Amino acid sequence: MSLLEVDQLDVRHGLLQAVRGVSFSVEKGETLALVGANGAGKTTLLRAIAGAHKPAGGRIVFNGSDITAIAAHKRVSRGIALAPEGRKLFSRMSVEENLILARAAGRPGAWDIDAVMDAFPNLEERRKAKAGALSGGEQQATAIGRALMTNPELLMLDEVSLGLSPLAVDRVYGSLQRLMSSGATILLVEQDLRRAMHVADRLICMLEGRIVLEAKKGNVSREEITAAYFGVRADRGKAGTHT
């Protein structure tokens, strides 16, 4: 049984349909990357799974239970965590205070402040610093650490590398690679196609709210993904497609 199943999901922003009949699943221990141009519906899809945006249709099933109508805070307690685009930290609170606050909303488990500091060593000397005074990479590490403090079964990361320097991206992904190697289940939105192809077990490309390509790592080329990204017809070889 899949950890997460999304079935014919529709999500709207007023009259705009941002997600259109999307279906996919995520297996336990898998890293699945969502790619696509701005406006493709990736962030809206993650927010709908997290419970921050009510779907107009379809179902979301987590650990065998339909959670489509369940409130966001109850999804956190069931094991779903989102590190949102833009990080959305409490800027006047310290790194440590941001982490502690998240722990109160989550579940019991191995992730505590010390575990987050082990995963993101660059935060150790900054744990008492205000979140608003951190570098972009430190803020991203804090946002991911905050999500981990809820002890999730499914960790969703939105635009990990957005706005970061190459060095900061390397540091964040170095820590994420250790998480992935430990068997964590991750649903990742990433604008850097090279990074996504390197870390993910499987990729999904979205265009105008729909899935236009789905493929396992190694079964699709960068050219095929790029063609799907821009809506250009291409021979996708072994890649599974959704139209």
pLDDT in tens, 37-46: 999 999 999 9
Model confidence at 242, pLDDT cuts 50, 70, 90, reads very low
Q: Is residue 239 part of a domain?
A: no
How confident is the model at residue 233, as a pLDDT?
60
Q: Is residue 237 part of a domain?
A: no
How confident is the model at residue 183, as a pLDDT?
86
How confident is the model at residue 81, as a pLDDT?
95
pTM of the complete model: 0.89
pLDDT in tens, 112-153: 999 999 999 989 999 999 999 999 899 999 999 999 999 999
The parent domain of residue 110 ranges over 4-229
Q: Is residue 190 part of a domain?
A: yes
DSSP the chain: --SEEEEEEEEEETTEEEEEEEEEEE-TT-EEEEE--TTSSHHHHHHHHHTSS--SEEEEEETTEE-TTS-HHHHHHHTEEEE-TT----TTSBHHHHHHHHHHHS--SS--HHHHHHHSGGGGGGTTSBGGGS-HHHHHHHHHHHHHTT--SEEEEE-TTTT--HHHHHHHHHHHHHHHHTT-EEEEE-S-HHHHHHH-SEEEEEETTEEEEEEETTSS-HHHHHHHHTT-----TT-B---
Q: Is residue 242 part of a domain?
A: no
Model confidence at 69, pLDDT cuts 50, 70, 90, reads very high
Tell me what the mean pLDDT of segment 208-231 comes to.
93
Q: Is residue 175 part of a domain?
A: yes
How confident is the model at residue 93, as a pLDDT?
95
Q: Is residue 236 part of a domain?
A: no
Q: Which CATH number covers residue 46? A: 3.40.50.300
Residue 236 has pLDDT above 60, yes or no: no
Q: Is residue 223 part of a domain?
A: yes
Q: Is residue 57 part of a domain?
A: yes
- How many domains is the chain partitioned into structurally? 1
Model confidence at 203, pLDDT cuts 50, 70, 90, reads very high
Residue 158 has pLDDT above 70, yes or no: yes
Average pLDDT over the chain reads 90
